[in-house]
Amino acid sequence: MLRTELGDLDEQIASTERALNDARAQRDRELLADQIEALAATIERAVPGFGGGAPAAMSGSTQMDSAVQGTNLRNASGFRALHWRPYFENTKNGVILVDIDSRALHYWSEDQSIYRLYPTSVPATDDLTRKGRTAVVRQTNALSFNQNVHLHGGVVPAASDGHPMQLIAPGGSFMYRYPNEQDAATLWYHDHAHGLSARTMFYGLAGMYIVEDELEDALDLPTGDFDVPIIVQDRAFNADGTLRYTDNIDEGFLGDTIVVNGSVSPRFAVRRALYRLRFLNASNAREYSLALSNGAPLVQIGGDGGLLEAPVSRSTISLAPAERVDVLVDFSRVAAGTQVQLTNGLGSGSTAAVMRFDVTGSRTTSGRVPTKLRPREEIPAPVRTRRWDLMFSTSGAPRWEMSGLGFEMDRIDARPALGTTERWQFVNRSHRKHPMHLHGVHFRVTERSSGVVPPGERAWKDTVMVDLDETVIVQPRFAPYPGRYVFHCHNLEHQEHAMMLQMEIA
Ligand code: C2O
Ligand code: CU
Ligand code: CU
């Protein structure tokens, strides 16, 4: 493919995108108020029949068995197998065109349609979301209320970021352009419609998006069946098996049942080999501390924004909402027939176990643990400091604030200069922890008032937990795209109760 033709195509896409954006953003803003009103009822109606059918059968080679262990389950007919399905339909001239629609609130309905319609993963074996190759995703909204798609951790033009006020109306569609110019990383995407996103996350509008690149290819890491996305969430159910959401502005939504890739307490048959497990915490508000019951180390190789400089061996890994960690786990030295639990040290009762690995077969070589990963990039020194005090306000209607501010569409709260870095201080002056997240850019965690920044947090990140009484300093790099992006707490009930501001990078 000639570069000039590629360039033309890119330009056509960009201008279509801009036109669509302007028209829709305007119309959708007007529709928004009504939509929010109607939301709760609509969502409840959109999830009929949950828990109706028999458990789905396993199929394919990287499927997680949906069978169940333990007694923490509300509804045995709700179990679902993992289902990974490629969603790319069309690749042409180096541009990937993806068509998705979103009857996705059928989360856990009869046919696991979420994985197809609002896909929950890009299989790592799919050679498609590679660095340097643009993906164009056309998202069609088949729901009855506004939605959009935000690529979390994606370094994408503002027009394709899925700003909370830039929405796709019911029946409409929108083309997002993902340049994939960033390094290999485990990204994810979710609905970000203002006022709705805590609920839509709970009902299943989320998925993983994996970017690969050549540096990573050369490392001989486990791939294919040995590279497994693990999306951890918590849920609550009514007695009839339907999902039960409660809006808790203080703690955020906390469910009593853990699900992995949509399955309650799944077990996963692993070979005696090295595995790459990509963990994503896609819970609304719950934090996890992951460990293996056989005491085996979790060898962390990456975080939100991609690979670390070198692997870090850890016995436990905490995972705040929206964070990702990539780890290597060596099952090759575990005897066949062994069951290894993945536990959550922050849970109790039904939230203490996450899933189980059943070790089978003979030893297989699937890759190795590299000694070096990605060299650390040099970045310019910060040009200024901004401070954000994280607070709960009860002076009016109770809400969460940053330095006395809550989300306002018509106000810009920070104007960083394109290409610079800054020092952002998140000062926790509240009684809850806050996983703070910036759109559009990555940052380094440079200081934690509670102690040193752990080695697992030293690669590029986009979400960082700010503990009680803690001040965390991060250094975002505002590049390469100008434009308006939000930053917010990723406890989604906090976010929806105003803990979100806007920056304009220029
Ligand atoms: Cu997961 Cu505003 O982001
Ligand atoms: Cu994001
Ligand atoms: Cu918060």
pLDDT digit string, tens, across residues 267-320:
788 899 999 999 999 999 999 999 999 999 999 999 999 999 999 999 999 999
Contact present, 493 and 247 (Cβ < 8 Å): yes
How far, in Å, from the CA of 465 to the mean position of ligand 3? 9
Residue 19 three-state SS: helix
**Which residue has a Cα nearest atom 3 of ligand 1?**
152
Ligand 1: atom nearest CA of 486 is: 2
How far, in Å, from the CA of 402 to the mean position of ligand 3? 10
Ligand 1: atom nearest CA of 500 is: 2
How far, in Å, from the CA of 405 to the mean position of ligand 3? 13
Question: Which structure tokens are listed for 346?
Answer: 């922050």
Question: Which structure tokens are listed for 230?
Answer: 């693990």
Nearest ligand to residue 435 Cα: 3
Nearest ligand to residue 486 Cα: 1
Nearest ligand to residue 206 Cα: 1
User: 151-160, 399-408, 429-438 — which is least confidently predicted?
Assistant: 151-160
* Per-residue pLDDT, 126: 41
> Residues with Cβ < 8 Å from 1, sequence gap 6 or more?
93, 94
Ligand 1: atom nearest CA of 192 is: 2
Ligand 1: atom nearest CA of 495 is: 2
Edge-to-edge strands of the sheet including 173-178?
A: 90-92, 95-101, 135-140, 173-178
Ligand 1: atom nearest CA of 487 is: 2
Closest CA to 416 of 385, 444, 460, 388: 385
How far, in Å, from the CA of 408 to the mean position of ligand 1? 17
Ligand 1: atom nearest CA of 164 is: 2
Query: What mean pLDDT comes out for the span 28-50?
Result: 35
User: 80-84, 174-178, 500-504 — which is least confidently predicted?
Assistant: 80-84
Which residues sit with their C-beta closer than 6 Å to ligand 1?
A: 150, 152, 190, 192, 322, 437, 439, 486, 488, 490
User: Is residue 467 predicted with pLDDT exceeding 70?
Assistant: yes
Q: What is the pLDDT of residues 101-137, one digit of tens each?
A: 444 333 332 223 232 223 333 333 344 466 777 776 7
Instruction: Determine the straight-line distance between the first and last CA of the chain, rounded to whole angstroms.
Output: 33
Cα–Cα distance for residue pair 108/233, rounded to 1 Å: 13
User: Is residue 242 predicted with pLDDT exceeding 70?
Assistant: no
Nearest ligand to residue 493 Cα: 3
Cα–Cα distance for residue pair 332/430, rounded to 1 Å: 45
How far, in Å, from the CA of 201 to the mean position of ligand 2? 13
How far, in Å, from the CA of 367 to the mean position of ligand 1? 33
User: Is residue 406 predicted with pLDDT exceeding 80?
Assistant: yes
User: Is residue 252 predicted with pLDDT exceeding 90?
Assistant: yes
User: Is residue 67 predicted with pLDDT exceeding 60?
Assistant: no
Greater model confidence, 332 or 191: 332
Ligand 1: atom nearest CA of 188 is: 1
How far, in Å, from the CA of 152 to the mean position of ligand 2? 4
**What is the H or E stretch that residue 58 is in?**
none
Q: How confident is the model at residue 6 (pLDDT cuts 50, 70, 90)?
A: low
User: 63-72, 319-328, 436-445 — which is least confidently predicted?
Assistant: 63-72
How far, in Å, from the CA of 491 to the mean position of ligand 3? 5
User: How distant, in Å, are the alpha carbons of 55, 292, 387, 395, 485 from that of 506?
Assistant: 52, 46, 20, 34, 11
Ligand 1: atom nearest CA of 439 is: 2
Nearest ligand to residue 156 Cα: 2
Which stretch, 117-126, 183-192, 251-260, 436-445, has highest mean pLDDT? 436-445
pTM for the structure as a whole? 0.80
Query: What mean pLDDT comes out for the span 216-223?
Result: 94
How far, in Å, from the CA of 439 to the mean position of ligand 2? 5
How far, in Å, from the CA of 491 to the mean position of ligand 1? 10
Closest CA to 457 of 346, 320, 345: 320
User: Is residue 80 predicted with pLDDT exceeding 50?
Assistant: no
* Residues whose beta carbons lie less than 5 angstroms from ion ligand 3: 434, 489, 491, 494
Show the beta-strand stretches assigned E in 261-394: 263-264, 267-272, 274-281, 288-292, 298-303, 306-314, 317-319, 324-330, 339-344, 353-363, 382-393
Show the beta-strand stretches assigned E in 345-491: 353-363, 382-393, 399-402, 421-428, 434-438, 442-448, 463-466, 471-477, 483-489
**Which residue has a Cα nearest atom 1 of ligand 1?**
152
**What is the H or E stretch that residue 121 is in?**
none
Nearest ligand to residue 426 Cα: 3
Question: Which structure tokens are listed for 7?
Answer: 């360039």
User: Is residue 64 predicted with pLDDT exceeding 90?
Assistant: no
**What is the H or E stretch that residue 230 is in?**
strand 227-235
